[in-house]
Amino acid sequence: MNKSPSVLVIGGGSTGTGIARDLAMRGLDVTLVEKGNLTHGTTGRMHGLLHSGGRYAVSDQASAKECIVENRVLRRIAGHCVEMTGGLFVQRPEDSDEYFEKKLAGCRECGIPAEVLSAEEAREIEPYLATDIKRAIKVPDGAVDPFRLCVSNAASAVEHGARVETHSEVTDVLVEDGEVVGVEVTHQSGTGPYVHGKPGEVEEIYADYVVNATGAWAGQIGDLAGVDVEVRPSKGVMTIMNTRQVDTVVNRCRPKGDADIIVPHETTCILGTTDEEVEDPEDYPEEGWEVDLMIETLSELVPMLEDARTIRSFWGVRPLYEPPGTGTEDPTDITREFFLLDHADRDDLPGMTSIVGGKLTTYRMMAEKISDHVCEKLDVEAECRTADEPLPGSEDFSVLRDYMEDFGLRSPIGRRSVQRLGSRADDVLNSIDPNPVVCECEAVTRAEIHDALDTAGTDLNSVRIQTRASMGNCQGAICCHRMANELAPEYDEDIVRSSLDDLYQERWKGERHAMWGEQLSQSALKHMLHATTMNRDEDPAASDDALDFAAFDDGNQSEGGSASDGSSGGAVADGGRVSTADDTGGADGDN
């Protein structure tokens, strides 16, 4: 079963889905393959900052200029993924004036609107900023939801005829006559419109051109093709707070360093980050001190963080790249620019280009550049339209609605739903009846869950990233099973169970980095709820062994009456044994 689409894109992150959309809109036949969910790699593990460019205004002005351009584009085309929070570069008394001035001048040189605020003015915007801050620079930073952004790009690509395959890992790059002609993918479990193969099935997909958009994994794909792609994966920790202590992006105004940014993200704040090179983008230590560092250092900017509740922490891996021979020691000094590596020019292997480096804010521009490159290679003449056409969901919409009248929802629920769904709100929220709230923390209704299931199949983690269900403060305690319940009756019990397991375990993965204070109470309650009502501690249904029903007493034995050997009494109410007068003790194990 060989198919011959024109272009095969590897990687379902922001870059890959952006390229797939761009090329599909230009009329090419596009297939995108991703080994996990969309956003499985780096895109789903970023802090959600929509750069104004301010962060690079001193160290990397080329990136800064790209950022402010794309910042404006994304506000236009991805309104339902973006929240224009504004951003502050806050100077503390110990931070240098010289750098502050450089930052301000840099912003202005790059065309980034920047305004100096006094400490009072800054604290008027963000009342929880430390009282001893000196001043701040206000820039148009924002928050972006990387999940919705990717999912919308993929949806748009599909609308334009592309094929998207998630849970399909590239296990080989097909090279014939010294040219890349396609890839071999191995399908994994899962169902839905983005998953066509059967688990374990191997498929060869031929294409006129292959784009390696796997970011930190680009080296691994390169290995399969027999070329070196020198990605230097660099990990960074991000800690999620339970509530929004700030509604504006707060940056520390000093030369780059660890723990210098707080991004308000949906209902939460994300603290970031660190920058440390790792060998393997999938296997690196996640350490408690990294989390402590975030909270301690950022408390200097927002003191209440010290005692605030964190709900989880996660690590992401940057796909940093520098041309061979540059030899930068410190990963923080590696440029954030992106590189287009045409393996024909570079390695004498035509048919494939890798794209590495870059950042989410400029994903569309990167996609445009590489799409131009692919079109040139394939002799296609077509204009890029991604900067002008809004993503599905971002067509004109307003969040100011009568939520009860329009959707039958309480106003905070309706408002959050519309903020997430954008122009799709009416279609989605009125698609199902009854429409109760499934995830209370994040105000996600049954209709939105079902909408996400349309593309997620049985993958509840995909539902999670599309809707935010189970991403709130209880981390799925109240809603994991409700989400799984929506899979029935379409899917059988064993599938529903394993989908629930996947989601439940994924939640623990990040939650275990927040095991103190309130989140510890939350986790204990979550565990006990699931253990005592759903056998989460030891589920007999999950065991291969036949259940020994005879081991249960019938609850009806008369006292001391039926014990055949006469050596021990029955169980007592508190679970101990009834001791007998001649009990000598220490007889355990005697026959």
Partner 1 sequence: MSDAESPTNPNLSPGAQTDDFEAVEVFSESTDMDLRPGADNCYKCTACDVSCPVAEVDDEFPGPKFQGPEQWRLKRKDDAAVDDSIMSCSNCMRCDDACPSGVPLSQMHNTARGEYVEEEMDKLSREYIRNRILANYGTLAQLGSMFPRLTNAIMGNSVVQQINEKVLGITAEREFPDFATQTFREWWNERGGPKVRSEEKRVAYFHGCYSNYNTPEVGKAMVRVFESFGYEVVVPKQRCSGTPMFANGMLEDAKRAAGINVENFSGLLNEGYDIIASCTSCSMSLRQEYPELFDIDGIKDVSKHTYEALEYLRIHEDLESEVRTSSVEDQAFAYHAPCHARNQGLDRQAVELFRELDGVEIEDVGDSCSGISGTYGWKEEKYDKSMQIGADMFDHMDHAQGDVGMTECPTCSMQMEHGTGYDIKHPLQLLEEAVV
DSSP-H helix ranges across 515-579: 517-534
440 binds partner 1 (CB under 8 A): yes
532 binds partner 1 (CB under 8 A): no
Q: Given candidates 116, 130, 304, 563, which one binds partner 1 under the rule CB under 8 A?
A: 304
Stretch that binds partner 1, among 214-222, 241-249, 288-296, 492-500 (CB under 8 A): 241-249
Q: Given candidates 4, 96, 171, 243, which one binds partner 1 under the rule CB under 8 A?
A: 243
Count the site residues for partner 1 by CB under 8 A: 32
In this structure, which amino acid lies at residue 418?
V
DSSP state of 239: E
121 binds partner 1 (CB under 8 A): no
Rg (CA), the chain: 27
Closer to partner 1 by CB, 267 or 371: give it. 267
Stretch that binds partner 1, among 91-99, 520-528, 554-562, 567-575 (CB under 8 A): 520-528
Among residues 274, 275, 278, 246, the alpha carbon closest in space to that of 262 is found at 246
1-40 footprint of partner 1 as x/- string (CB under 8 A): ----------------------------------------
| Window 200-239: residues binding partner 1 (CB under 8 A) | none
| Window 64-83: residues binding partner 1 (CB under 8 A) | 83
127 binds partner 1 (CB under 8 A): yes
The dihedral region occupied by 349, where left means phi > 0, alpha psi between -120 and 50, and beta the remainder, is beta
CB of 466 to partner 1, least distance (A): 18
Closer to partner 1 by CB, 306 or 490: give it. 306
Give the number of other Cβ atoms within 10 Å of residue 204's Cβ.
14
In this structure, which amino acid lies at residue 338?
F
416 binds partner 1 (CB under 8 A): yes
Closer to partner 1 by CB, 343 or 507: give it. 507
What's phi and psi for 506, nearest 5 deg? Answer: -60, -40
Stretch that binds partner 1, among 43-51, 180-188, 331-339, 409-417 (CB under 8 A): 409-417
Give exposure, 481-511, as e/b (b: 16+ Cβ within 10 Å). Answer: bbbbebbeeebeeebbbbbbbbbbebbeebb
Q: Is 68 helix (H, G, I), strand (E, B) or coil?
A: helix
Q: Given candidates 521, 535, 557, 579, which one binds partner 1 under the rule CB under 8 A?
A: 521
Q: Given candidates 244, 346, 373, 450, which one binds partner 1 under the rule CB under 8 A?
A: 244
Return contacts of 372-378, CB within 8 angstroms, 24+ apart.
373/340, 373/342, 374/7, 374/19, 374/23, 374/28, 374/209, 374/211, 375/23, 375/26, 375/28, 377/209, 377/353, 378/6, 378/7, 378/28, 378/208, 378/209
Among residues 217, 152, 190, 179, the alpha carbon closest in space to that of 11 is found at 217
Q: Based on the number of CB atoms within 10 Å of its own CB, is 395 exposed (0-12), middle (13-18) or buried (19 or more)?
A: middle
525 binds partner 1 (CB under 8 A): yes
Q: How far is residue 312's CA from residue 511's CA, in Å, rounded to a whole number?
A: 4
CB of 266 to partner 1, least distance (A): 9
406 binds partner 1 (CB under 8 A): no
| Window 248-267: residues binding partner 1 (CB under 8 A) | 267
410 binds partner 1 (CB under 8 A): yes
Stretch that binds partner 1, among 98-106, 293-301, 303-311, 554-562 (CB under 8 A): 303-311
CB of 128 to partner 1, least distance (A): 8
CB of 398 to partner 1, least distance (A): 13
443 binds partner 1 (CB under 8 A): yes
Closer to partner 1 by CB, 234 or 417: give it. 417
CB of 246 to partner 1, least distance (A): 9
245 binds partner 1 (CB under 8 A): yes
CB of 183 to partner 1, least distance (A): 43
CB of 404 to partner 1, least distance (A): 8
391 binds partner 1 (CB under 8 A): no
Q: How far is residue 130's CA from residue 262's CA, in Å, rounded to a whole number?
A: 14
436 binds partner 1 (CB under 8 A): no
Q: Are strands 231-241 and 7-10 parallel, antiparallel or unpaired?
A: unpaired
Closer to partner 1 by CB, 112 or 437: give it. 437
CB of 425 to partner 1, least distance (A): 15
CB of 117 to partner 1, least distance (A): 17
Q: Given candidates 111, 199, 257, 412, which one binds partner 1 under the rule CB under 8 A?
A: 412
Among residues 45, 135, 145, 130, the alpha carbon closest in space to that of 99 is found at 135
| Window 470-499: residues binding partner 1 (CB under 8 A) | 472-474, 477-478
Q: How many CA atoms lie within 13 A of 160 on its CB side?
A: 26
Q: Between 460-467 and 446-456, two packed helices, what is the crossing angle to 10 degrees?
A: 120
Stretch that binds partner 1, among 42-50, 283-291, 453-461, 518-526 (CB under 8 A): 518-526
Q: Given candidates 123, 395, 518, 568, which one binds partner 1 under the rule CB under 8 A?
A: 518
535 binds partner 1 (CB under 8 A): no
Closer to partner 1 by CB, 226 or 412: give it. 412
Strand partners, 33: 10, 165
Among residues 54, 48, 46, 55, the alpha carbon closest in space to that of 256 is found at 55
CB of 322 to partner 1, least distance (A): 39
CB of 385 to partner 1, least distance (A): 32
DSSP-H helix ranges across 309-445: 343-347, 363-378, 403-407, 411-421, 425-429
In this structure, which amino acid lies at residue 503?
L
Give kind and range of the element (H or E) at residue 354.
strand 352-357
Spatial contact of 369 and 336, defined as CB atoms under 8 Å apart: no
Tokens representing 335 are: 């440029």
Give the interface with partner 1 as residue ranges (CB under 8 A). Answer: 83, 127, 242-245, 247, 267, 304, 308-309, 403-404, 410-413, 415-416, 440-443, 472-474, 477-478, 518, 521-522, 525
